[in-house]
Each structure stands twice: as structure tokens, then as C-alpha cells.
Amino acid sequence: MSRFIWLVRREIWEHKAIWVAPLIVLACLVLATLTGNIHLGPIGSMDAGAGLGALPHDKQVRLLLVVYAGLALVMDWVLGIVAFFYALDSLYADRRDRSVLFWKSLPLSDAETVLSKFAVAAVVIPLVALAGAVLAQLIVAAGGSAKLAMAGEAAGIMWQPQAIMGGIVMAAVWCVTAMFWFAPVIGYLMLASAWAPRGPFLWAVLPPAALYMFEKVLLQTNYVGDFIKERLFGMLRIVRPETVAQVDPKTGEEVGREVIKLSELDLSGSLRDFYASADLWLGVVAAALLIAAAMWVRRYRDETA
């Protein structure tokens, strides 16, 4: 176990983008706070948000939840991009600079090496995203409190437990769920990284792109595109706001749809349905098979290729 932890620490040391990227986002938020340029999404600029305290309590919570959840989503996307390129380069980089010859001379198995890199992409990076999201929420809450205080409003509005804790809970939910949901994507990227003689990005992107174009042009269907879209963005359905029909009381006809408040979403129900879905657990099985394939390729591939 200590050897595995050492391998994970080595990956974090060698790939500084894992912790530099969230630090850059946090630095931008701190700079925005210090310069008074805090903008809170649907609340708008705090310079023009003097009426925030006059809003009903439930609307305050709803708006702040959107802001805090949005901050978590931004941090998740930033670290998601880092994870994509990390996984894509994880097993190719050792062959590119021939350092794989050194690592294979050590008493380290291919399974340990591959699993340590997978753990960084699937576990460590989401945890870094969670920590960054919480810090981002606290920074914006502090900056918003200062702006509200200077506007003569109650600074504690930004720290309402339902809002701040709701934002942290959403960030934690996305973190844990991302570990399972994107596991097959990471496994596929690592397999492409282990296999590619050069240009792992093309080896990873071109096969699904070719399948998509083949199906679209020849079969006039879109199953591949729908599958890719679902795997990349399907996790968002956990907290995706639902809509309900608006009915004209005079005619009884539907005249539009309104979004259910984020604070009224049944998060526990959404999580229960999501974790009970076959898509999630079939993806975990696929991830295990892809990681096993990456181990096999790394073990038998010519290290100088």
C-alpha cells in the first residue's frame, strides 16, 4: 500500500496542472473580490444588487444555490479538462521519453503503475475539484458579504446555511458521482495512451468520430452520438432542473413551462435513480475491462515503440 501511495504522490508531483489549474481559478476569484468585481450569476453585480435583502427568503436561497452550484460546476469542468489530458498522456509519456525502461527495471508491476495513474485521474482529481469548489464558494461568499455590507444590507445573506451547505453538498455529490460515471472514459483514454505509437489524442478521438460519421451518413441514425453525449453530460441530470406545464386557467391549455426551483429538487430521489441505473454500473464494468486491457498492452507492448 505504501508503494502505491508513493506512485500516486509521484504522479501529483510530476503533473503540476492538477493543483495549479484550480489555484489559477481561485486566484481569479480572489482578484475579482479584491477589485470589487463580484458577479453572482442571476443575482447580477453586487453593485446593482442592493435589493437582494428585500427578496423572499426562499428566493434568496434559490439564487445563492444556483451561484454556489455554478462555481462547483466551473471547477469540475476545469479539472475535467485536466483529467482528460492527464489520462490521455499518462501511459504514452513514459514511452515518449523512454522513462518506461527505467520504471520497468524497478520492482513495480504494470498493474500498480496503471492503477496508480487511474486513481489519480478518477479519484484524486475529483477530490481536488471538490476542495477547489468549496474554497471558491467561500471566497465568493466572503466577497459578496463585503459588497452587501457596503451597500447597507445584511452581510449574513451570503452565509445562509441552506445555501452554503447546499452548494457544498452539490459539489460533494458531483465529486463522488464523477468517480463512477467517468471511469470508463478514463479507462478508454488510458488504453489509447498505452496503445498509441504517437499522437494519442488522434487515436482516442478518431475512432468514435469515425463511427459517428459512418452511422450518420450511411445509416441515418445517431446512436453513437447519443451515447457519447450521454456519457459526457449524463451526470448533469442529477441536479438538472425539471419543468412543469403552465396551464391557462381560462382555456385549460398549456401556455408554457416553468422551471422548478433548484431548492425544491428531490436530490436524494435523483441520486437513488441515478445509482440504480444500469448505465452507471455497466460503465464501471467497462472501466474495469478497459483498465485490464491497458495493463495488458503496457506489459507486452514494445517499450521503444
Question: What distances in angstroms separate CA 247 from CA 193, 225, 250, 255, one per listed residue?
Answer: 54, 35, 9, 6
Buried/exposed code over 210-220 (b: 16+ C-beta within 10 A; e: otherwise): eebeeeeeeee
102 assigned to some structural domain:
yes
- Reading the chain (305 residues) residue by residue, the pLDDT tens digits are 678 888 888 888 888 999 999 999 999 888 887 776 665 544 444 444 445 556 666 777 777 887 888 888 889 999 999 999 999 998 887 777 666 665 566 666 778 888 999 999 999 999 999 999 999 999 888 888 877 777 676 777 778 888 888 888 888 988 888 899 999 999 999 999 988 888 889 989 999 999 989 888 888 888 888 888 888 887 776 655 444 444 445 555 544 444 444 445 556 666 777 788 888 899 999 999 999 999 998 887 655 44
- Quote the pLDDT of residue 40: 53
* Beta carbons of 235 and 178 less than 8 angstroms apart: yes
Give the domain extent around 248: 2-300
22 assigned to some structural domain:
yes
- Quote the pLDDT of residue 245: 46
63 assigned to some structural domain:
yes
d(CA 183, CA 179): 6
pTM of structure: 0.80
Overall number of domains in the chain:
1
Residue with cell 445562509: 160
283 assigned to some structural domain:
yes
- Quote the pLDDT of residue 131: 94
* Beta carbons of 15 and 86 less than 8 angstroms apart: yes
Count of C-beta atoms within a 10 Å radius of residue 182 = 24
- Quote the pLDDT of residue 87: 93
305 assigned to some structural domain:
no
- Quote the pLDDT of residue 230: 84
Question: What distances in angstroms separate CA 107 from CA 35, 96, 104, 112, 299, one per listed residue?
Answer: 53, 21, 7, 10, 14
CA angle 46, 172, 124 (to 5 degrees): 115
